Structure 1
């Protein structure tokens, strides 16, 4: 029991240190730019020598990878919570609720957004493990579009790969414009984010169900 408890405490301390390193990296990326991350700067931020940092992350890309996974897990959790707590049975309305929740998260977390949605770090490619939650997000979007088609609310083409590509292109485009032009605005105040319901309605109209 004593050995097991000791190992458990050691694991908790390691997890805590890893979280502190990731939080420090996030702060530095916010201040200096996502692609400007430096391992030595991260080490200074958490009060350790650079060689000690390698006990937790083998490279700068490993830090990016861990942050990508953390961000993708947050997006997945936000989308699921929005769907779980939505007070509607209307699948089109639910679409806007989930999209709004994820968009709010993206605006509140611009560093994660750059890492997840735009290729701001040359040479970075998330590992399959880090990318897995992002794939879950996309699968849940596909499942939702398919359910909306099955309910007769959208044309079957909305649930195709082209439909999903159009959906993500126009919605991500709104966020990209907002973060590029008015990064300090709130979701409600944003010149572009205010258009999100309009953009989504355009998608729904593009894939209106067949008449009859």
Structure 2
């Protein structure tokens, strides 16, 4: 989170919050996403565990802040990738940017997409950037419909569900089997263009 426009005290507080989240991610990388420990976070930061409650009232609150960070991250990655692109290129650029982000942020990807923390549900505020990302996806699909490359049904609830299921499935396989591979060389991520073409075949437009 940017600290621009905050007073000194608020900046220091936000910096501490960011440090807590960074340490949490590092611990989750080594211990597992669901195994996050407040005492371990405090120990890494050189503070007493009760001091964490000044910033987060519970472990679930840390997960919530991390969920929001992750959702903002992949949403913004997609937007940067498509901002100056031609409409017919935006869908592939968006899913490529999303895939690259997931591979570079595997801990957050697990928290966002694979329900690895029992009992955790993101707050509406934390989930809002993910809703934005789905709206962006719908816009990309609608542009393909308007261009005659996809049928209108591609923007239906079924179409959105199918697109997210098949692309997330590719990423799930990649992260489960070859987490260290590059996007370009991953055994499963190399299949992403084929998967997208399958989606186009399912919702073929007049110009395809």
Q: Distance in 1 between matches of 2:30 and 2:46?
A: 18
CA RMSD of the aligned region, Å?
1.4
Q: Which protein has the larger Cα radius of gyration, Structure 1 or Structure 2?
A: 1
Q: Distance in 2 between matches of 1:120 and 1:136?
A: 23
Residue deviations 1:147-174, cap 9 Å, x none?
2112211011101000000000000000
Structure 1 residue 94: Cα displacement: 2.1
1:153 and 2:152 are equivalent in the alignment: no
Q: Distance in 2 between matches of 1:211 and 1:193?
A: 27
1:55 and 2:54 are equivalent in the alignment: yes
Structure 1 residues 57-206: aligned runs within 5 Å: 57-86=56-85, 89-91=86-88, 93-206=89-202
Residue deviations 1:44-66, cap 9 Å, x none?
01110000000000000000000
Query: Which residue matches 1:209?
Result: 205
Q: Distance in 2 between matches of 1:56 and 1:144?
A: 38
Count of aligned pairs between the two proteins? 203
TM-score normalised to the size of structure 2?
0.94
Structure 1 residue 211: Cα displacement: 7.5
Q: Distance in 2 between matches of 1:179 and 1:140?
A: 24
Q: Distance in 1 between matches of 2:76 and 2:201?
A: 29
Q: Distance in 2 between matches of 1:173 and 1:121?
A: 19
Query: Which residue matches 2:3?
Result: none
Q: Determine if contact 2:87/2:143 at 8 Å carries over to the other structure.
A: no
Q: Distance in 1 between matches of 2:23 and 2:87?
A: 42
Q: Distance in 1 between matches of 2:91 and 2:201?
A: 14
Q: Which runs of 5 or more residues in structure 1 are unaligned?
A: 1-6
* 3-state SS, counterpart of residue 138 of structure 2: helix
Structure 1 residue 184: Cα displacement: 1.1
**Which consecutive segments of 4 or more residues in structure 1 shift more than 6 A?**
none
